[in-house]
Chains A and B, each alone.
Chain A
Amino acid sequence: MKLASRVRLHAVGLALHLGLFVAMGVLVAWPALRKVDRALAPLQGIFLDIADRQTRLVNQLRDLELHITTVPTPVHDHFIPPHPGAERSLLGRYAQVLAPHAVTALSDLEETFSRIEIGIAEARALIELGDTTAAQAKLRKIAQDRGGLLEQTVLAQALVLEQGIMAREGLHTATWWLLRLALAWLVSGVALLAVVLYDVQRRVLQPVHELDVAVRRIAEGDWRRPVATGGPPDELGTLAGHFNEMADALRRRAGRHAQLVTAGELLAGVAHELNNPLQAIRGTAELNVAPDGHPEDWQDVLDQARRASKLVQDLLRFVRPRLGGPERVDPNAAVGDALDLVRFQFRVDGIAVELRRQAGLPPVYIDPDELVGALVNLLGNAHRVLQTHAGERRITIATTVHGDRVRVQIADSGPGIPPDLRERIFNPFFSTTQGGAGLGLAVARDALREVGGDLHLDATTFGASFTIELPVAHLGDPGETLFTHGPDPDSALEGLSILVVDDEEPIRRVLARYLGALGADVHIADGGSAMAALKTTTFDLVILDLRMPDVDGVDVYRYLRRAHPDLAGRTIFLSGDISHLGADLGVPSSRILLKPVELDRLRGAVSEILDLAGRTV
């Protein structure tokens, strides 16, 4: 049964219950009350009729007596008798509604009334005939009857009154029946209400509760148990079915998401494995770019290695969101990073990119990954549009500064956005492409707005144009990171004792050669041997790889903090895997350099950290 039908059934049931008892009340009480009414209704009439007739007789008698005493001479015109007022007998009016003994009393009273009335009429006639003596004798006889009349009147009225009192019994019966009926109605009403509430609990509240529990379970990540659908095929059953379908869809989507995450994690591992040889290649190339060799070849090796390492880092940054938070970011650099990620696809699909970057842009204050993500999203949208566009395929990227705001405008030469969709494109889950999640623009705009920026669609007549606005970073903004300075050309590392800890021999060797060439006394070790070296030798600086088998960099750093706290403050960390950087590793994130790192940058970092530690290089 449908829920609406069930609700109607409940309403009809309750209405019938009420109606049934009202009808029963009427059926039970009505006859009893009607009986009481019939018994009581004539009582007033009887009293009034008796009193009226008696009053008229008394008045006529008084007039007659007065006439005899004051006007002895009859004037018959004055004696046309008034209407006697007995057009209907008392018996005819009330006998049917009175008890038998009251009827008898009323009949006797009626006879007495008639006798007195005819007596008065006869006395009048005698007076008219001049026989006052006979008239007076007649009046005396009437006076005797009046005594009997009073007695009969009292008796009749008492009997009538008794009938009224007896009628009270009927009233009591009706009241008692109504009371019992009301009690029955209350009891059955409570029972019916309990049934209705039970049904509502079972058919409505319980399924809703199950849905609520299922929603919470899914929110907590438990996809295993859908909502039970074995109940009645009502609206809530249908809703449960739809909910289960939705849960299945979400589960499948979550599975795909998990696959992507796994892919990202795999990519991180692969990147680590790739960064290490790249570090070695880059270092070797840098060291061998010398005038006496074939510098062109080594320069090519170096450029390609730089390019490969940058691609890997950009890709990792995109697929592995980090928890670094906002920092000062060069907008032009962010645009370059984003372009690097999509440049290949643009080239494949013949999409020209026109880049107009204003030189000397001030930094903006934002999480660089989110800025790159927003730019990649906009570029990706433009790519999808232009991919199938028959006309010119061009994307223009322009960076400008207006007052204290930096703008990045991305415009394409595609068909543009229809007017009816312009208001909706920033809505979550709105997508114009098959299979699109519809979250990209919404997420990007939210991220930009969080740091005081914005993303909006420009009003254009040609193609589509989006503009990112970001506030210029101020000096007081937090997030200034270390190792942003370039190498000091005058700095040398002579006299410094540096421990390079890495599990990759080529990396250790390249770094040792580089630092040694700058005059440092370089010791190399892997995770396991680093501990021993630290116990026996005093170092000015440690360059420590974070990810190593067996004893990793975090373990070594813990040892340093415990055994050589000063040296722990002069430790530079290297990592080829940024996937773990979001977690709290227990190392200062500001001192982490990502592999592959340029050797000159490493040199700058060494100088910087020694300056902070108050050590002279």
Chain B
Amino acid sequence: MEPVPRNLKILTGITIVLFLTALYMVFIYAPREAIMGDVQRVFYFHVAAGWVGALAFLVTAIAGGVYLAKREPKWDRLAESSVEIGVVFTLINISSGSIWARPIWNTWWTWDPRLVTATIMLLLYFAYLMLRQGIEDPDRRARFGSVYGIAAFISVPVTFLSIRLFRTIHPVVIGSSDPAAEGAFDMTARMVQALMFSVLTFTFVYATLLRYRIRLGRGTEEVEKRKMELISL
């Protein structure tokens, strides 16, 4: 495998520094919320993880479209890599939300529109990864993945808009919450800064992981190609 490029090493270093700074901002810089207490701090990485999930699935949809137009394997590699990371971060988003909800809503889970749509989104993209494994032919797999990735993307705006369109107890961070929402709070300037910095940090985490995952995908394809060549000898 070719050595890790210098720019990727630099990106990794920057990401680690940003992550450590984000942890400082979340635990030390941002104040303790007046009613919810410390559990509110989960919100910073919860929102940031949700952002990365949505971004990752958007990249998948775009990459899928470009693959269908150009039929170049690198776009399919990008789409698959991005979905994998998106699934991981959506899982982080849902599980951290559940842990926050326990003391605030007095339940780990409720059939709230936001929770349900986010879980459906997670399952849709998890299915993408599983179904791809079942297709042998690389071109067919890539075409399936592209169409699926574009179609599944509808779940992303539905999830985002669910708290604005439906009656929900999930708080709205930007804008005003439904009167039934529980756990809404007014953010101080420091909280806003911690949130924005967490979102920025997670974007860098996504970009770094994506670069590594694409390298892995490229390496796997090379190995598969060499295996086929060896078999044919």
A and B: bona fide binding partners:
no
B residues in contact (CB < 8 Å) with A: none
